[in-house]
Chains A and B, each alone.
Chain A
Amino acid sequence: MDNNKVITAHELTKRFGDFTAVDKITFEVTRGEIFGFLGANGAGKTTAMRMLSGLSLPTSGQATVAGFDVYKQNEQIKKNIGYMSQKFSLYEDLTVKENIRFYAGIYGKSDAFIKEKTGYILDHLHMTSEANKLVGSLPLGWKQKLAFSVAIFHEPQLVFLDEPTGGVDPVTRREFWQMIYEAAETGITVFVTTHYMDEAEYCNRVSIMVDGRIEALDTPGGLKRTFGARSMDEVFLKLARAAKRSE
């Protein structure tokens, strides 16, 4: 096992009845990388991510995450990953502090660790004065930044981000990407889906899914050269227009 590969997927497939949501995808993600996982709505991104994070059982193919097999060792995978879903998933009726404490606690972190790191994170997010406010009362951008901090609080090897910046204003989006870079610097591999092509440019490598298959995988620069495009937007449009599935 190549210790430098955080994710390896080989012909990973998920079928729901007759419908093949994810069709034999093969790729690898290297440690410390920011890996952009692009695709139109319904291309199969979320399903692929759910298989890799142990929420969904693959129909066929192989995959390992953090060195563990997705079929048999999904509980070990869970200890080593963070996950931020498309739906906001902190508890709105708990305070900022209580949410952090809860999620850190169920990952088995010690009280001392939780206390110290909570202080650091609140300070870093400039949310110290909001620590005892209910999460439901925060603006969306703050919630997303908090959710990301909670997802990596237990210092996982890898974090899955499913459209983390959907509906967030441009300033907060920039701050959010700043946080992603900081996380990557501490050695956390970032696996992120997005619909914003400017964000795709920030990634080290990008894959583009069309109709359940990975049609392209390269650095943003490499993709632009291959498709003779000036921007990632153009690359994406060229590929996504060929899609047969509707939204």
Chain B
Amino acid sequence: MRTLKFLLQKEFRQIFRNPAILRIIFVMPMIQLLILPLAADYEVKNIKLAVVDHDHSSYSRQLISKITASGYFKLDNYNGSYKEALQEVEKDHADLVLEIPDHFEKNLVKEDASTLFIAINAINGVKAGLGSAYLQSIIRDFNGQVREEWVQFPRFSPETQVMVTSSNWFNPMMNYRYFMVPGILVILVTLVGSFLASLNIVKEKEVGTIEQINVTPVRKYQFILGKLIPFWLLGLFVLTLGLGVARFAYGIIPAGSLFTIYVFAAVFLLAVLGLGLLVSTFCSTQQQAILISFFMMMVFILLGGLYTSIESMPEWAQWLTKINPVSYFIDVMRMVVLKGSGLADIKTHLLTVFGIAVLLNGWAVVSYRKRS
């Protein structure tokens, strides 16, 4: 116990004496949480629209003003021909081309049917997909209006009309920040928990102090605990800081209890610390540790369900997310913060991450050797 006290004292002194680490712990979470959620928004806005209006009727103008009034589209240009409009797309001035044919209004009124043509620049798949979906829904809406104006509905419509109404549970305003902020916080905690710890150990290897420790009677478990405890606490500290930012900057107050979040975070940190420890036993320089950490961070984020939904991944990728502790924490954070889930609801997540923690730490302890 006494040895551990000396190890912890040394570790905390070194951490609080290192301005780079302090910046990572205090400033980075603040800045990332204040900036990233604003940028990481799934809604697509400012889609540039080029219109080729061959009809020049009041309906065609109504349609165009309805589209621009939606707020999602920015009218880039009126073009005389489709060819011209396509050139706008080529120059990247436009994302979408809407072509309104001759006699659009006439056909619509007289024949109760007309056609529109949409051409999409699909280089940015998300923008293209959402853009055309928005546009189609606006046109459908417009269609409904026109029909109401001109067509008297018979008492029993010959076509079945299905109306869909939806309500958004847990996040009624569909606010993306509610969704992104807890996720980004998880990434930050992961970063501090695992990679700062592994860099710290590898640094001792690089400088040569670990060899000095290895000739002292300090036991393996004491050394490992001396490294894990400080970063475990720092991880919880960053979590607290982040929850504070979420509350005061975004007004996100977890629907569930903080206790649930901290219990899960405590176990989760054990898992990522084990990973950090494992990385450090396989690396002999900080450079190697940074590169491996960087690689793993990418995998964690992209296979963690932060930006993309896990359900829409191919099956093999979904299996990979099951061994990614980060995906569990992101899920739990969203469950607790948005839905108010309690410990009983996240039991499976908790046990799985605990299993991963035992596995990683066990592996790391076995491969850490005082004697070569």
Contacts and interface: CB of A to CB of B under 8 A. Distances in A.
B372 A56 contact: yes
A88 B211 CA distance: 10
A53 to B, nearest CB: 5
Contacts of B219: 75
A105 B6 contact: yes
B17 interface: yes
Contact of B14 (A83, A94, A103, A107): A94
Interface string B195-210: 0000000000001110
Contacts, number: 74
A104 B5 CA distance: 12
A55 B214 contact: yes
A87 B20 CA distance: 25
A81 B14 contact: no
A89 B372 contact: no
Residue among B5, B6, B14, B17 with the highest chain A CB neighbour number at 10 A:
B6
B218 interface: yes
Contacts of A85: 208, 211-212
Interface string B1-29: 01101110110011001100000000000
A33 B87 CA distance: 91
A98 interface: yes
B149 to A, nearest CB: 78
B371 interface: yes
Contacts of B14: 91, 93-94
B217 interface: yes
Q: With a 10 A CB-CB cut-off, give which of B207, B214, B370, B371 has the most chain A CB atoms.
A: B371
Interface in A54-73: 54-57
Nearest to A51: B371
A96 to B, nearest CB: 13
A55 B211 contact: yes
A85 B216 CA distance: 13
Contacts of A50: 372
Contacts of B13: 93-94, 98
Contact of A102 (B10, B17, B207, B371): B10
B344 interface: no
Contacts of A56: 371-372
Given A57-B372, A93-B17, A79 B208 contact: no
B215 interface: yes
A106 B211 contact: no
Contacts of B212: 83, 85, 89-90, 103
Q: How large is the interface on A (under 10, 10 to 19, 20 to 34, 35 or more residues)?
A: 20 to 34
A89 B211 contact: yes
Contact of A78 (B2, B3, B211, B216): B216
Contacts of B209: 89-91
A55 B6 contact: no
A108 B371 contact: no
Given A74-B371, A93-B17, A98-B13, A87 B216 contact: no
Contacts of A90: 209, 212
B208 A106 contact: no
Given A102-B10, A105-B3, A87 B372 contact: no
B215 A102 contact: no
Contacts of A53: 215
Contacts of A81: 215
Contacts of B371: 54-57, 74
Nearest to A50: B372
A174 to B, nearest CB: 25
Interface in B163-212: 207-209, 211-212
Given A75-B217, A94-B10, 18 more contacts: A54-B371, A55-B215, A56-B371, A57-B371, A78-B215, A79-B217, A83-B212, A83-B215, A85-B212, A87-B208, A89-B208, A89-B211, A93-B14, A94-B13, A98-B10, A106-B213, A108-B3, A108-B217
20 contacts: A50-B372, A53-B215, A54-B371, A55-B370, A56-B371, A57-B372, A75-B217, A78-B215, A78-B216, A83-B212, A89-B207, A89-B209, A91-B14, A91-B209, A92-B207, A93-B13, A94-B14, A98-B10, A105-B2, A106-B213
The 10 closest A-B pairs by CB, nearest first: A87-B208, A105-B6, A89-B212, A83-B215, A79-B217, A78-B217, A102-B10, A89-B209, A89-B208, A106-B218
Interface of B: 2-3, 5-7, 9-10, 13-14, 17-18, 207-209, 211-219, 370-372
